[in-house]
Amino acid sequence: MFSSNCFITDQEIAWCPGCGNFAILEVLQETLAELELSPHQVLLCSGIGQAAKIPHYVRVNGFNGLHGRALPPAVGARIANSSLKVIVQSGDGDTYGEGGNHFLHTIRRNPDIAHFVHNNQVYGLTKGQASPTSDPGMKTKVQAAGVILSPFNPLSLALTLGAGFVARGFSGEKEHLKQLMKAALSFPGYALVDILQPCVSFNKLNTFAWYKKRVEILKNHEPTDIEAAQRLARKWGEKIPIGIFYEVPTPTFESQIPALQGKWGKEPLAYRHFDPNTLAHLQEEFM
């Protein structure tokens, strides 16, 4: 009954052959099917970039907004309709560069959103400039002498800000990635999965083989140990850990908003009946 075919669209996919995005797309479609979600129950929000084209390739509701701005519409939609499963899917430039401020504050807010970042350590759509996660020394047309900025560490930052679910995946480890996506989608609150994704056209440094040699699926890690999670998050080099670094739920944003509780709780804000006449008494306070 539920198959990943339900989530396929007729759109021609505008990614380069061999791009890591294909695997992530496939895994996402399988994840949705295995979680027995119907297309109309899911909302996919994205910004702009190669990764951010994904709402066109998955048959679910989609809001493909502005570069760097994938998170705020997702938060708004979550408030408006709590029956939607909201997923944000975007690139590393989109999320950590242009959208850095939203990234910080969405973590603090903790809405029930799964956030999958396609981290190819480069700007793909604009043809190969450095991204906030580019490794130092990487040469591009703009960073002609090599990247000199220290790389942004999304996992470490997310942990520091108190994110309840922090994970790293790799597009070359599809089964493992599916488990991460499932866990993120089942987690009540903001769940970050930073996904290492080779860009075959512009990132000649962090290639498929480069990642493949280094990634190491976490074993015997206790995902409630914040200190251990932080240590893992700082590991980047010969060995790059992938898996769930941290998973401890805290109260969600929605669960603390008065208008989404109590007698209101069950009915999504979007579908509530409303009659302006019932508010005429608001004037009394001014009499």
Ligand X SMILES: Cc1ncc(C[n+]2csc(CCOP(=O)(O)OP(=O)(O)O)c2C)c(N)n1
Min. distance of Cβ 60 from other proteins in angstroms? 6
What are the distances in angstroms from CA 228 to CA 95, 163, 233, 234, 261? 25, 15, 9, 10, 36
Min. distance of Cβ 54 from ligand SF4 in angstroms? 11
| Residues in touch with other proteins (CB under 8 A) | 9, 11, 14, 38-41, 43, 45, 48, 53, 55-56, 59-66, 69, 71-81, 83-84, 101-102, 104-105, 257-260, 264, 268-272, 274-277, 279-280, 282-283, 286-287
- Out of 29, 31, 46, 50, point to the residue binding ligand X (CB under 6 A): 50
Q: Where are the alpha helices (DSSP H) in the chain?
A: 21-34, 71-80, 92, 100-109, 154-160, 174-186, 208-214, 226-233
In the chain, what is the greatest distance between 2 CA atoms, to the nearest angstrom? 73
Tokens in use for 143? 């960073």
Min. distance of Cβ 35 from ligand X in angstroms? 25
User: Is 201 an interacting residue with respect to ligand X (CB under 6 A)?
Assistant: no
Min. distance of Cβ 285 from other proteins in angstroms? 9
User: Is 247 an interacting residue with respect to ligand X (CB under 6 A)?
Assistant: no
Strands 165-170 and 240-247: antiparallel
Q: 131 or 171: whose CB is closer to ligand X?
A: 131
Q: 15 or 116: whose CB is closer to ligand SF4?
A: 15
Tokens in use for 218? 């976490």
Binding to ligand SF4, residues 151-210 (CB under 6 A): 199-202
Nearest residue by C-beta to ligand X? 91
Strands 85-91 and 165-170: unpaired
- Out of 8, 13, 16, 228, point to the residue binding ligand SF4 (CB under 6 A): 16
3-state secondary structure of 7: helix
Contacts of 52 (CB under 8 A, 6+ apart): 46, 64, 67, 70, 89, 90, 91, 94
Binding to ligand X, residues 75-94 (CB under 6 A): 91-94
3-state secondary structure of 181: helix
Among other proteins, ligand SF4, ligand X, none, partner that 102 touches (CB below 5 to 8 angstroms by kind): other proteins
Residues found near ligand X in the complex (CB under 6 A): 48-51, 67, 91-94, 118, 120, 122-126, 131
